[in-house]
């Protein structure tokens, strides 16, 4: 893995202006991805994982507003780039796989034509050449009988095959960075494993960087070099995968691991995370958005900005990092 940075997200803050109030979706999020590296972005639903990826790709809802930060890629700030500059980057330099391939694919067009669209958009490819390359891509993602399946419609294919088609489309222009947003949603366990193995092998063979967005920590542990943990729009911890599981520093990371089957010694040792994500429309959100669910929280956690502990390999945003997990699963009372 290279140490050269490919994508450098710096202090991105984003909000959604809705009828019910302003949603503070991301707050000062920073994350770098090196060339050839696979980074897992994990956390509960609603923590801001997908929103961060949509911000990088600039495919946000009209209600979204980025109020601060940069996303540097090849010397270009993606958050401020023109549409023409973005058009040259999306698909060619950065590609994305979405959660549900059946809704991402056009249901009334043959899958080979959809792959050919990307080839024609990003290179001097026409007619028969585009079809031949579409067949080759389907073969590369291990679609059986690709010469025939290139003419199939999405409804004629299984969910796993549709996801492989989406991978073929994403890889058509040989991007440097692949963003995979919950790429195994709705697939059975066996197909999930096959899709993730395929993505890992393709990333390694192409020396391609990958941002894997998932709520499945086991998947991230198996396929990622580093893992970044998000909670309620905050990035709370980043560490090499093995180190994160061996020695989690943030209390939220510890709770996530404790709630996972396979990472505790018994079912009795599994503990759900108490409470819910805070309402991100609140105007009085505390500096630490985990404070109301945290068993080790103190008054300072509500009052003082979060310290960011950096090392050569780790990042932690917590006033009390590294403390061994407490036995109680409910947050303690906080006295001012």
Question: Is residue 194 packed enough to be buried (19+ CB in 10 Å), middle (13-18) or exposed (0-12)?
Answer: middle
> What does the block give as tokens for 48?
């801001």
Burial of residue 243, with CB atoms counted within 10 A of its CB: 0-12 exposed, 13-18 middle, 19 or more buried:
middle
Diameter over CA atoms, the chain: 72
Asked if 209 and 35 count as a contact pair (C-beta separation under 8 A), the reply is yes
Q: What's the distance, CA 224 to chain centroid?
A: 11
In a domain, 150, yes or no: yes
Helix (H) or strand (E) holding 210: strand 209-214
Q: Is residue 142 part of a domain?
A: yes
On the question of pLDDT at 207 being above 80, the answer is yes
- 289 occurs within a structural domain: no
Is 270 within the bounds of a domain? no
pLDDT tens figures, 176-203: 999 999 998 888 889 999 999 999 999 9
Q: Residue 132: give the domain boundaries.
A: 102-174
CB atoms within 10 A of CB 75: 5
Q: In this structure, is residue 122 part of a structural domain?
A: yes
Mean pLDDT of 18-31: 95
| CA–CA gap between residue 70 and residue 31 (Å, rounded) | 11
Give pLDDT tens digits for 39-94.
999 999 999 999 999 999 999 999 999 999 999 999 899 999 999 999 889 989 99
Q: How far apart are CA 180 and CA 183, in angstroms?
A: 6
Which pairs count as long-range contacts for 15-23, CB under 8 Å and 24+ apart, including other chains? Answer: 15/64, 15/65, 15/67, 16/61, 16/63, 16/64, 16/65, 17/63, 17/65, 18/63, 18/281, 20/281, 21/281, 22/281, 23/280, 23/281
pLDDT at residue 63, as a whole number: 95
Distances (CA, A) of 186 to 143, 162, 180: 19, 12, 14
Domain count, the chain: 1
**pLDDT of 116 above 80:** yes
305 within domain boundaries? no
**DSSP secondary structure code for residue 207 in this structure:** T
DSSP annotation of 96 reads: E
**Burial class of 316 by CB neighbour count within 10 A (0 to 12, 13 to 18, 19+):** buried
Task: Please report the pLDDT score of residue 335 as a whole number.
Answer: 37
Under a CB-based contact definition with an 8 Å cutoff, are residues 207 and 38 in contact? no
The answer as to whether 89 is a domain residue is no
User: What tens digit of pLDDT does each residue of 296-321 get?
Assistant: 899 999 999 998 877 767 899 999 99
Higher pLDDT, 260 or 149: 149
Q: Output the six-digit token pair for 221.
A: 């542990």
Assess contact for 214 and 40: CB atoms under 8 A: yes
Q: How many CB atoms lie within 10 A of CB 190?
A: 9
The CB density around residue 296, as the number of other CB atoms within 10 Å, is: 17
What is the SS3 assignment for 21-72? Answer: EEEEEEEEEEEEEECCCEEEEECCCCCCHHHHHHHHHCCCCCCEEEEEEEEE
Given a cut of 70, whether residue 167 has pLDDT beyond it is yes
- Distance of alpha carbon 334 from alpha carbon 17, whole angstroms: 31
In a domain, 230, yes or no: no
What length does the chain have? 336
pLDDT of residue 270: 66
């Amino acid at each position: 893995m290279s140490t050269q940075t490919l994508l450098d997200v710096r202090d991105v803050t984003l909000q959604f202006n809705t009828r019910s109030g302003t949603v503070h979706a991301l707050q000062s999020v920073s994350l770098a991805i090196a060339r050839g590296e696979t980074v897992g972005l994990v956390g509960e639903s609603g923590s801001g994982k997908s929103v961060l990826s949509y911000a990088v790709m600039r495919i946000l809802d009209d209600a979204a507003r980025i109020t601060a930060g940069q996303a540097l890629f090849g010397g270009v700030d993606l958050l401020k780039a023109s549409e023409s500059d973005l058009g040259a980057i999306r698909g060619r330099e950065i590609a994305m796989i979405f959660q549900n391939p059946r809704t991402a694919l056009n249901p009334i067009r043959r899958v080979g034509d959809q792959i050919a669209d990307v080839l024609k958009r990003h290179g001097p490819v026409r007619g028969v050449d585009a079809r031949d390359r579409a067949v080759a891509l389907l073969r590369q993602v291990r679609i059986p009988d690709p010469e025939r399946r290139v003419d199939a419609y999405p409804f004629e294919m299984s969910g796993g095959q549709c996801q492989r088609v989406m991978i073929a489309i994403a890889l058509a222009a040989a991007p440097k960075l692949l963003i995979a947003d919950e790429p195994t949603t709705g697939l059975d366990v066996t197909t999930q494993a096959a899709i993730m193995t395929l993505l890992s092998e393709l990333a390694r063979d192409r020396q391609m960087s990958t941002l894997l967005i998932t709520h499945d920590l086991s998947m991230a542990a198996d396929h990622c070099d580093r893992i970044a943990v998000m909670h309620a729009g905050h990035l709370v911890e980043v560490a090499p995968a093995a180190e994160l599981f061996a020695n989690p520093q943030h209390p939220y990371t510890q709770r996530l691991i404790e709630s996972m089957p396979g990472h505790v010694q018994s079912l009795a040792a599994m503990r759900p995370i108490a409470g819910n994500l805070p309402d991100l429309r609140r105007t009085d959100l505390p500096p630490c958005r985990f404070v109301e669910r945290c068993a080790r929280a103190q008054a300072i956690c509500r009052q003082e900005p979060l310290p960011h502990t950096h090392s050569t390999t780790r990042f932690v945003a917590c006033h009390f990092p590294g403390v061994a997990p407490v036995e109680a699963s409910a947050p303690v009372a906080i006295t001012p």
